[in-house]
Structure 1
Amino acid sequence: MPVADDSLSAPSTVTPPPSPGRSQEAFALLAAVQVVLVLAITMLSVALPTIRTELGLSVAQLTLVSAAYGLSFGGLLLLGGRIADLYGRRRVFVAGTALFGLASAVGGFAPDVTTLLTARLVQGAGAAFAAPAAMALAVSLHHAPRARARAMGIWGALAPLGAAVGTLVSGAAIVWFSWRWTFLVPTLVAVVTVLLAPRLLPRDAGTPAEGKVDVLGAVLATAGLSLLGYGLVHAAETSWTSAAVTVPSVLGTALLAAFALVERRAPDPLLPPGFLASRRRATALWAVLIASAGTATVFFLLSLHFQQVAGLSPLRTSAAFLPFTVVLLAVGPLGGRLVARLGSRTVIATGLSLAAAGLLLLGRLDDHSTYAGPVLAGLVLLPAGIALVFSAATITMLDDLPAEQAGLAGGVVNTALETGPTVGLAVLASLAASHTSGLSGGATARTAAEASGYAFAFTTAGVVFAVSALSAVLLLRGRSRIAP
């Protein structure tokens, strides 16, 4: 059954889309920002040991530096999406990007851990307002359903691409310059965007949309997501029963439960209760969440394996992920076209299956594994599947969604993108550490035990992806193809 032509038409807070040529330039600008917003998550990953030495950080401080951006980004996304819908997508996008760029510049010159942490938190806050608005603007640039689906298919593949590029930038900066230079990329992109946005992006309408910000809901969602994320970050490095994990996790969960109750009664809820009632939308959101979790886990654990077990330098570690990036670039643009031909159910299920195969291949890892074998095969199959999942799931999330909720959809999708890595790393890194600990206490060498732990985590993730592929086949029924 075809999608109605007006299901994702230009929202009331923006003017009609620009000419085709200008639309392509505008989409390229928005896409560049989306890549950089995700790049900022991983851009310090390879550099963390160097940052710890230079600034004299404790393990806890280093963990906060790594997680600070994601905590504020994920916690504020729902609010950012709602504000974009109410007060104008271009206005909120430019303001969020400017704040992101300013904080990036400060981070590059941070003389101590306090300044660096503050910069990363503010960076995430700016990203939380820019990302939902960017997605809503990208939707508004295309009227025809098929053109819109192709654009959203490309958009969906930008997140894993940003994560991959962030790792490459981190490794290159450490070898040739300094970790501080990693902040140069987001700063420059933000400056260029702020200068070009008034010329390329559709103008906001003269009056804001009807409605108001759900302040109580925003406070509960932000505090709940941030506390839960903070607890899960610590779960990757300490016991799940420790106070550092249980206290913030329980408080965060309680606040999110209160948020759900408040939203049921709020006149203008931050997240309308019926938004995720759609089986198709909820399934697509789960696919986004586990795809982002799988991507983050592979980058984190394989980076450790390459450097600690295989003995690769930071630059060679970054280069090892080049096939991942190349495959993303090749497969990402195909997602929207495949959904138009085959339907979102087929594409999402296929993507999850390919990703499962890639993870299971990585699950064969040991301390004697060579790169040109299951590792390389896994780094080819996994991104192919991830690109298809992100592309098709993004299209499905927007299917039949009222135009005035495009910013909300951007906030929800990006929240899943941010929550997935936190949950995935907490669970899978803990499994890897527990498995390694159980082996290293015996006759198994430490490097062999570590490799086995990483392999166990990859295998577990592969099983989750395989089960999710089957679930997608069963749950993603109904509308899935796009009319011309």
Structure 2
Amino acid sequence: MTLISVLLPAIQRDLGLDRAELALVNNAYAVSFCGLLLLSGRLGDLLGLRRTLVVGMVAFGLASVANAAATSFAVMLLARFGQGIGAALTAPAAMALAGIVFRDPQRRARAIAIWGGLPVVGATSGILLSGVVANWVSWRWAFVVPAAVVGLVLVLLPRVMPPAPETRRIRVDVLGAMLVTAGLCGVCYGLVEAAEQGWAAAGVLVPLLAGLVTLGSFALWAARAEHPLVPLSFFRSRKRLMGLLGVMLASSGTFTTTYFLPLYFQQQQAFSPLMTSIAFLPYGIAMFATGLFAGWLAVTAGARRMTAIGFAVGAAGLALLGQLDVASPYVGTLLAGLVVFPVGAALIFSAATAATMDGVPDEQAGLAGGVLNTAMEGGPTIGFALPVSIAGAHTSRLTGGGTDAAVATADGYGFAFTIAAAAYVAAIALSLLTLRRR
């Protein structure tokens, strides 16, 4: 998702895309990934986790190669959709296999907590890698890297992965699969287009409302079906619901920072793509360093305490970034926010993932991975629509009053970060209340 963010200007120039086409290329991955995660998670339980992982990785790798070779808008768009489909198959199966490989409960909990911190590491790596690639070689090489990773995984998988458990006969809830996939795709598309068209546009309201109605129909069907795609009993756990909310908020905050700050560095501070990547180095180092012990902390200190601490640290980091203006020096509150926020996000991811997966039986491992990844993907989708809308509205209000456009844009970014910090503060109390010991 973040690999393409720094590359968008170069892709637009080489392929001759207009703004609407560029937005579709940027968002196609998120729509297909988000829409198919729940179905893909259930397919892992049905067809076998290892088989689903291999199929997803192959699809992701082939789509990445197609992105690298794309010479037109249509090919690029289809390849981005293909990447999202491959990722949707891969992510739930990979997470479920991590829980199966580590049979000891303590080691399993720590492994899953570590897994929970990997998406933030991936998001940061995308920013760092894409800036380097854009500076020295063609943007096309950025898509070769994930294809190479796929090749490495396929070579190592038979050597390091134990034999997959026997697949079980599970009835496929075809109607439920159609409803949830169509509903999630509609909601995700409406949200990502809201940032481009505005909330009142027909191209936003129609898919958004249709998606919500379809998801409501899915919930009614799941409550009545004998073998639903996603049993509603899966969401009865208060701890699991708070874990999913934590994952959504952490991923939303991460996407907000990795979306606004590259724009700020390149537009307001005139940084090159390479300098933008270098500016994110402290962010990446803080993320990697926290990830080294976040899994251990999530298990030893407990999900309740670590989730609340993560939200507190994350809120402090977002509040520091909220001081952003057009003349903010890099060394100061901006750098402090770049270091503090990823520490909080990594702690939230690990603790919330551990809370979500706690007590999930093996036969629902793929389903749990699909639900968790849907929350993880839903965060960035919402984190694209709401903060961009908030920042845009604040910027429009300032420019309408005569404020310079560059100043108003930077202030809009800072205002969006401040609102996000307030949401994290509210989440502290909610996590302490929801995850309290019985």
Please tell me the TM-score bracket, short chain as reference.
over 0.9
Q: How does 1:89-108 map to 2 (within 5 A)?
A: 89-108=49-68
Please list, as runs of the form range in 1=range in 2, the aligned pairs for 1:41-440 lying within 5 A after superposition. Answer: 41-206=1-166, 208-440=167-399
C-alpha distance after superposition, 1:227-259 (max 9, x if no partner): 111111111122211111111111111111111
Q: Structure 2: how far apart are the matches of 1:322 and 1:302?
A: 13
Residue 57 of structure 1 aligns to a residue whose secondary structure is: coil
**Partner residue, 1:466:** 425
Instruction: Find the residue that maps to 2:140 and give its secondary structure.
Output: helix
- 1-side partners of 2:309 and 2:165: how far apart? 41
Q: Letter of the 1:168 partner, please give it.
A: L
Letter in 2 for 1:141: V
CA contact (8 A) 2:253 2:383 kept: yes
CA distance in 2: counterparts of 1:177 and 1:267, whole angstroms = 55
Indicate if the aligned counterparts of 2:244 and 2:375 stay in contact, CA closer than 8 A.
yes
Deviations 1:344-378 (A, max 9, x none): 10000000110000000100111111111111111
Please tell me the residue identity of whatever aligns with 2:241.
A
3-state SS of paired residue (2:412): helix
For residues 195 and 165 of structure 2, the distance between their equivalents in structure 1, rounded to whole angstroms, comes to 46
User: Counterpart of 2:315 in structure 1: which amino acid?
Assistant: A
190-199 or 224-233: which moved more?
Answer: 190-199
Q: Provide TM-score, normalisation by structure 2.
A: 0.98
**CA-CA distance at 1:168 after TM superposition:** 1.3
- Cα deviation, 1:197-234, whole Å, max 9, x if unaligned, reads 1222122234x213122111111111111111111111
User: Aligned equivalents of 1:222 and 1:291: distance in 2?
Assistant: 24
In structure 2, distance between residues paired with 1:420 and 1:306: 23
- 8 Å contact kept, 1:324–1:380: yes
Provide structure 2 residue ranges, at least 5 long, that are not aligned to the other structure: none
Counterpart contact for 2:12–2:22, Cα < 8 Å:
yes
Residues 41 and 92 in structure 2, CA contact (< 8 A), matched pair in contact too: yes
What residue in structure 2 maps to residue 20 of structure 1? none
Determine if contact 1:103/1:123 at 8 Å carries over to the other structure.
Answer: yes
Deviation, 1:339, is 2.6
Q: State how far apart, in whole Å, the 2-side matches of 1:263 and 1:333 are.
A: 39
Matched residue type, 2:226: P
Residues 153 and 334, structure 1, Cα contact 8 Å, conserved in 2: no
State the Cα deviation string for residues 455-482 of structure 1 (Å, max 9, x = none).
1000000000010011101110237xxx
Aligned with 2:197: secondary structure? coil
- Identity across the alignment (%): 49
Contact 2:2 2:123 in 1 (8 A): yes
So what's the TM-score if we normalise by structure 1? 0.89
For 1:131 and 1:431, locate their aligned partners in 2 and report how far apart those are by CA, in whole Å: 31
Q: Is the Cα contact below 8 Å between 1:150 and 1:333 reproduced in 2?
A: no
Please tell me the residue identity of whatever aligns with 1:402.
P
- Whole-Å Cα distance in 2 between the matches of residues 54 and 209 of structure 1? 49
1:167 aligned partner, one-letter code: I
> What one-letter code is carried by the residue in structure 1 that aligns with 2:254?
T
CA distance in 2, matches of 1:427, 1:326: 28
The root-mean-square deviation of aligned C-alpha atoms, in Å, is: 1.1
TM-superposed CA distance for 1:454, in Å, is 0.4
CA distance in 2, matches of 1:172, 1:337: 32
Between Structure 1 and Structure 2, how many residues are aligned?
A: 438
Instruction: State whether residues 74 and 419 of structure 1, in contact with CA within 8 Å, keep that contact through their aligned partners in structure 2.
Output: yes
SS at match of 1:105: helix
1:318 aligned counterpart, secondary structure: helix
Amino acid at match of 1:79: L
Contact 1:217 1:259 in 2 (8 A): yes
- Superposition deviation, residue 452 in structure 1: 0.7
Aligned to 1:38: none
Matches of 2:165 and 2:23, distance apart in 1: 43
* Alignment gaps of 5+ in structure 1: 1-40, 480-484
Looking at structure 1, the residues matched to 404 and 75 of structure 2 have their Cα atoms a distance apart, in angstroms, of 41
**Residues 133-142 or 146-155, more deviating:** 146-155
Residue deviations 1:279-310, cap 9 Å, x none? 11001100000110110011111111111111
- 3-state SS of 1:422 partner: helix
1:455 is the counterpart of 2:414: yes
Q: Distance in 2 between matches of 1:131 and 1:60?
A: 29
CA distance, structure 2, for counterparts of residue 158 and residue 118 of structure 1: 27
Distance in 2 between residues matched to 1:57 and 1:293, nearest whole Å: 27
Work out whether residues 53 and 90 of structure 2, in 8 Å CA contact, stay in contact via their aligned partners in 1. Answer: yes
Whether the 8 Å contact between 1:90 and 1:202 is mirrored in structure 2 is no
Shift of 1:340: 2.9
